[in-house]
Amino acid sequence: MKRDENEILMPVERALALILETIRPLPVEPCGLAALAGRVIAEDIISTMDIPMVDNSAMDGYAVRTGDVAGAGRRDPVGLDVIGELQAGAAMAGLLVEPGRAVRIMTGAPIPPGADAVVRFEDTEERGERVSIFVPVVKGENIRRAGEDLRAGAVVLGKGARILSADIGLLASINVREARVYRRPTVAVISTGDEVVEPGPDLLPGQVRNSNAYTLVSEIARYGCEPRYLGIVRDSLEATRLLLGEAMGCNVIVTTGGVSMGRYDFVKDAIAALGVEILIQNIRMKPGKPCVFGTKGPLLFFGLPGNPVSTMVSFIQFVRPALFKLMGAARLAKPVVHAVARDDIVKKPGRVHFIRGLFTVRDGEFYVSTTGPQGSGILRSMSAANCLIVLPAETERVRAGERVLIQLIQHEEI
């Protein structure tokens, strides 16, 4: 019976492809430099200048002519006349390094004409207006070349890149104070279930603490989207329809629970009553089989399963890439690498399994262990994990020492 059931479930890759096909990136808006972190750039940013603008010193020392100091050594230093000093930001003030001369120079100061290398202070000794140079240097030594960081005309950031701290620094350095980025999706989050209770009051027997809403709001914010938490809806068609109705103005709605075959699972009926076309109902994976996806115009609806681990795994596989596509991101996938399994893992064939794992790296090789009991309600297995071990549908067992694929989930890889 199970085998037949699995055949009618939608494969994970098909589901993801179908979801992504329905999505167009959101409109573009301008954004000030300081607020760009985590946003996705909607245009190629081209440098209009060389960075650094001029050749400058990488060290505190003396700007010299390499020919003058070719024979320098500790015992037979070369003596040069010090004709002046250059500080970072200083104007050149007509300094010219002619043969037999040197200029005292600080890190970041422009290299004066005539000089073609810098000798570090540590390799010199100054007395009066003379400096003894103890070492030879090669052409260009301790000089940062104009344009070595960035050339005028170079693409600093390509459309679709997610902006990280170094990128913001680069944008500042080429005097970009505002850039065009994709709008941040608004994402409504709704929990369902008569038994589900917010943190606060003591639980009565049979009640369950609402963890999903908090997991999801945190994930949504982490990827630079705007979560709108709307609360817990009771298990009634009418109440579910009403609260979902309030969420219809968002770009995305994510619910948890209420999508199985139980008598109190009203999410599908409620969302269909609001005119959402349901495109996916069940996916060939574990955990996370009951997972609903639908659209109404540009609105995306995700009905995630209620079990806390299923909620997270489904979010990572489907909602997260969907949010990134909405935000115009070019790269959507979590990185997947090979790892050596440390444990035996047994599974039923038929569905892809996402097993919570903890990877370590030794001598450049990934190793992975499972994080203990894997029940889809055991959120601890997820909190102890830094990856998901992805076992293909047909796999029945993995022996310790064999290679498996792991999806890295705790990395800012986009």
- Catalog residues that contact Mg ion under the rule CB under 5 A: 193, 257-258
Q: What are the φ/ψ torsions at residue 225 (nearest 5 degrees)?
A: -100, 170
Q: Give the Å distances, CA to CA, from 92 to 50, 97, 118.
A: 19, 11, 16
Residue 261 CB, shortest distance to ligand AMP, in Å, is 9
By CB under 6 A, tell whether 207 contacts ligand AMP. Answer: no
Quick one: which segment of 10-18, 251-259, 391-399, 406-414 binds ligand AMP (CB under 6 A)?
A: 251-259
Residue 256 CB, shortest distance to Mg ion, in Å, is 9
By CB under 6 A, tell whether 208 contacts ligand AMP. Answer: yes
Q: In this structure, are residues 49 and 174 in contact, taking their beta carbons and an 8 Å threshold?
A: yes
Q: What are the φ/ψ torsions at residue 372 (nearest 5 degrees)?
A: 90, -160
By CB under 6 A, tell whether 260 contacts ligand AMP. Answer: yes
Q: Which residues pair with 186 in a beta bridge?
A: 226
d(CA 94, CA 179): 39
Nearer to Mg ion, 257 or 350 (CB): 257
Nearer to ligand AMP, 124 or 310 (CB): 310
Strand ranges, E, within 154-214: 155-157, 178-182, 186-192, 196-197, 208-209
Q: Give the Å distances, CA to CA, from 189 to 78, 114, 215.
A: 74, 66, 10
By CB under 6 A, tell whether 381 contacts ligand AMP. Answer: no
Quick one: which segment of 29-37, 113-121, 207-215, 244-252 binds ligand AMP (CB under 6 A)?
A: 207-215
Q: Residue 215 touches which of Mg ion, ligand AMP, none (CB < 5 to 8 A by kind)?
A: none
By CB under 6 A, tell whether 245 contacts ligand AMP. Answer: no
Quick one: which segment of 2-10, 302-310, 344-352, 404-412 binds ligand AMP (CB under 6 A)?
A: 302-310
Nearer to Mg ion, 84 or 193 (CB): 193
Q: What are the φ/ψ torsions at residue 365 (nearest 5 degrees)?
A: -110, 140
Quick one: which segment of 150-158, 185-193, 353-361, 383-391 binds ligand AMP (CB under 6 A)?
A: 185-193
Tokens, residue 337? 């690498």
Number of residues that this document lists for the chain: 414
Q: Residue 240 touches which of ligand AMP, Mg ion, none (CB < 5 to 8 A by kind)?
A: none
Q: What is the DSSP string of 212-267?
A: HHHHHHHHHHHTT-EEEEEEEE-S-HHHHHHHHHHHTTSSEEEEES--SSSTT--H
By CB under 6 A, tell whether 212 contacts ligand AMP. Answer: yes
By CB under 6 A, tell whether 196 contacts ligand AMP. Answer: yes
SS3 147: coil
Residue 4 CB, shortest distance to Mg ion, in Å, is 26
Residues at the interface with ligand AMP (CB under 6 A): 191-193, 195-196, 208, 210-213, 256-258, 260, 262, 305-308
